Amino acid sequence: MINSSIKLAMRKTTSSGFTLVELMVTLAVFAILVAIAAPNVTTTISANRVTDQVNNLLGVLNYARNEAITRNFPVQVVPGDSTVTSTTLTLGTQWISGMKVVAQDPTNNNYILLKDTPPMQSGFQATATTLINNATVVVTSVQFGGNGTTTNNNYIGFVICDKNITIGTSEHPGDIINVGRAGNIGARNLNKVGC
C-alpha cells in the first residue's frame, strides 16, 4: 500500500490546456488567413451588389417589352427622374434615380405609368448609350413596339458599375446590358468596367 502511494505522488501531473506560445502561433496563422481572404470577400460583395442592380434593370426591361407585346402598343423605360402625367412625359437623364415604365394609350394619347422602381444603391453609376453616325449618344428612353422590337432603331448599351470599389487605378466592378434592335435583352458579366 505504501508502494502505491509513493507511485501516485511521483506520477507527473499533466495540464490539459494550451501554452501561450501555441495560442500566439494560432492567432498569427488566423490573422494571415484573414488578410488573404479579406480582398476576396470585398470583391464578392461588390459583384453581388452589381448583379442585384443588373437583375433589377433586366427585370424592368423585360417587363416593359412584355407589356408592349401584351398591349400591342409602345411601352418605354425612362430614367427615374422623368416626370409623367396623364398628358405629358418629360424625360430625365439619371438612370441611377430608378426607372419608370410608361405606356401611351393610342386611343387618347394619355400616358400610363405602369411601374416606378426605387433608385439604385448608393455609389452606383448607370449610363445608356447608342451609336448614331459613329458617334456615341446618351439614351434617355428605351421604347418597345407592340411586336416587342425596339423603336429606337439601334443597339442600346447600359453600363452599370459600382463606384464604391476601385480595381487597379480607375476601373470598377460592373456589367453591360445590351438591348438589340429585335428587342433581345442580355447582360455581359464583366469583372471591371472603366467608368
Helix (H, G, I), strand (E, B) or coil at 97: helix
CA distance 180 to 192: 23
Residues 42-73 have pLDDT tens digits of 767 777 888 888 889 999 999 999 999 999 99
**160: which strand partners?**
126, 175
Q: Where are the domains of the chain?
A: 20-193
How high is the pLDDT of residue 3?
60
Radius of gyration of the chain (CA): 29
Nearest CA among 83, 147, 79, 72 for reference residue 111: 83
SS3 string, 122-146, reads CCEEEEEEEEECCEEEECCCEEECC
Query: How is residue 129 written as a grid cell?
Result: 448609350
Superfamily of domain 20-193: minor pseudopilin epsh domain (3.55.40.10)
CA distance 76 to 42: 36
CA distance 79 to 36: 40
Instruction: Give the helix ranges, DSSP H, for 72-192.
Output: none
Which residues in the chain come in under a pLDDT of 70?
1-15, 37-40, 43, 165-171, 189-195
Phi and psi angles of residue 122, each rounded to the nearest 5 degrees, phi first:
-60, 140
CA distance 143 to 76: 4
Are residues 146 and 75 in contact, defined by beta-carbon separation less than 8 angstroms? no
